[in-house]
Amino acid sequence: MSTDITGTATATTTATATADLADTVVVPRVVTGRGPATLRAEAVSAWFGDHKVLDRVSLTMPARQVTALIGPSGCGKSTFLRILNRMHELIGSASLAGRVLLDEQDIYDRGRRITHARREIGMVFQKPNPFPAMSIYDNVLAGLRLNAIKASKEGKDDLVEECLTKGGLWKEVKDRLRQPGGALSGGQQQRLCIARSLAVRPRVLLMDEPCSALDPTSTRRIEETIAELKSEVTIVIVTHNMQQAARVSDTCAFFLASHGTPGVIVEHGDTEAMFDSPQDERTSDYVNGRFG
Ligand SMILES: Nc1ncnc2c1ncn2[C@@H]1O[C@H](COP(=O)(O)OP(=O)(O)OP(=O)(O)O)[C@@H](O)[C@H]1O
Ligand SMILES: [Mg+2]
């Protein structure tokens, strides 16, 4: 009996799941218990056509920690994040060099399926992107596609409750699971997207400015969710909000692309140390709001 699933992260990221998924969901039992993984980028470079935007970026994002990526606009943070779950290669002109290791296995190895990497390494975007007409319940399950097994109703109910609880949304929506995802507030929609990403049991969750469109209360709620999740999924978050980076992250990496040169990591390490006593003057200027 196989419980492998395919195409899940594609569904979470490209809004292609439109069908009624009620009978086409499989709960990925075999993938439970794998736990968070360490993600390591080794000498990652990236190009769009001839334009090199990242230059040999290396960074370890440890399991059970939150890593924040900070830096001015255009320095390559989102590009780096997309390379971490093989979304960069979806862009026609894009190319890359280097390696990305998930618990020491290169996600770009020949023979490793792209869908596998995306399932293991989920992504939440700046703008919440639930399927607006789909119910809250089906939104949570939308990342799972049938692959030979039909889940029981109880299995689906349990998964929906578990993921919405972990996403910090259960109490607010438990009595209206059949209402459309689009009827939720922006902050709730973002937590629904987090719940949806969790349903495929990722080992790493990438978040690209997940709070930038949200009010302070919703932002705080997402930050609490991040703190609760980090024991079970490695989190990498891009943020322009220095207070947020200081609040939520254990380690931090400062990206910079100066004067048209490709982005590099200027400094990385323990978040508190980076904010209190940065080693590089440029980091100091940035975290203290003197540029960017
Ligand atoms: N699809 C694309 N095609 C061509 N160039 C791109 C594309 N996406 C990004 N770039 C370029 O790559 C560089 C890095 O962009 P990226 O979006 O990764 O920066 P960022 O650090 O996430 O910026 P921001 O903080 O504004 O989100 C920029 O010079 C940008 O113009
Ligand atoms: Mg970006």
4-50 pLDDT, tens per residue? 333 333 333 333 333 344 444 445 544 444 789 999 999 999 999 99
Residues 6+ apart with CB under 8 A from 211: 190, 218, 219, 222, 223, 239, 241, 244
Q: How close is the Cα of 71 to the center of ligand 2, in Å?
A: 10
The CATH number of the structural domain formed by 39-287 is: 3.40.50.300
Q: Which amino acid is at 261?
A: T
Closest C-alpha residue for ligand 1 atom 25: 73
Ligand 1: residues whose CB is within 6 Å? 48, 53, 73-79, 91, 93
**Mean pLDDT of the residues in the chain:** 87
Place of tokens 């869908």: 115
Number of the ligand 1 atom closest to the C-alpha atom of 93 = 3
Q: Give the ligand with the smallest distance to the CA of 292.
A: 1
Asked whether residue 278 carries a pLDDT value surpassing 60, the answer given is: yes
Closest C-alpha residue for ligand 1 atom 30: 74
Closest C-alpha residue for ligand 1 atom 12: 53
% of the chain beyond a pLDDT of 90: 73
In what side-by-side order are the strands of the sheet with 105-106? 51-61, 39-48, 94-102, 105-106
Chain center to CA of 282: 27
Q: How close is the Cα of 70 to the center of ligand 2, in Å?
A: 10
Closest C-alpha residue for ligand 1 atom 17: 78
Q: How close is the Cα of 74 to the center of ligand 2, in Å?
A: 7
Closest C-alpha residue for ligand 1 atom 1: 91
Paired residues of 59 in beta bridges: 41
CA–CA distance, 292 with 286 (Å, rounded to integer): 7
Asked whether residue 177 carries a pLDDT value surpassing 50, the answer given is: yes
Q: Which residues surround ligand 2, an ion (CB under 5 A)?
A: 78
Closest C-alpha residue for ligand 1 atom 18: 76
By CB neighbour count within 10 A (0-12 exposed, 13-18 middle, 19+ buried), where does 291 fall? Answer: exposed
Instruction: Please state the rounded mean pLDDT for residues 68-90.
Output: 96
Q: Give the ligand with the smallest distance to the CA of 69.
A: 1
Confidence band of 91 (pLDDT split at 50, 70, 90): very high
Instruction: Please state the rounded mean pLDDT for residues 115-119.
Output: 86
Q: Give the ligand with the smallest distance to the CA of 125.
A: 2
Closest C-alpha residue for ligand 1 atom 16: 76
Three-state SS annotation for the chain: CCCCCCCHHHHHHHCCCCCCCCCCCCCCHHHCCCCCCCEEEEEEEEEECCEEEEEEEEEEECCCCEEEEECCCCCCHHHHHHHHCCCHHHCCCEEEEEEEEECCEECCCCCCCHHHHHHHEEEECCCCCCCCCCEHHHHHHCCCCCCCCCCCHHHHHHHHHHHHHHCCCHHHHCCCCCCEHHHCCHHHHHHHHHHHHHCCCCCEEEEECCCCCCCHHHHHHHHHHHHHHCCCCEEEEECCCHHHHHHHCCEEEEEECCCCCCEEEEEEEEHHHHHHCCCCHHHHHHHCCCCC
Report the C-alpha dihedral over residues 240, 260, 39, 278, rounded to 10 degrees: -60
**Best mutation site among 75, 91, 261 for ligand 1 pocket (most ligand atoms within 8 Å of CB):** 75
What is each CA distance from 20 to 7, 17, 25, 53, 192, in whole angstroms?
16, 9, 10, 40, 18
Instruction: Please state the rounded mean pLDDT for residues 232-239.
Output: 96
Q: How is residue 36 written in tokens?
A: 């968070």
Confidence band of 292 (pLDDT split at 50, 70, 90): low
Asked whether residue 211 carries a pLDDT value surpassing 80, the answer given is: yes
Q: How close is the Cα of 75 to the center of ligand 1, in Å?
A: 7
Number of the ligand 1 atom closest to the C-alpha atom of 255 = 21
Instruction: Please state the rounded mean pLDDT for residues 189-215.
Output: 93
Q: Which pLDDT score, from 0 to 100, does residue 143 have? A: 84
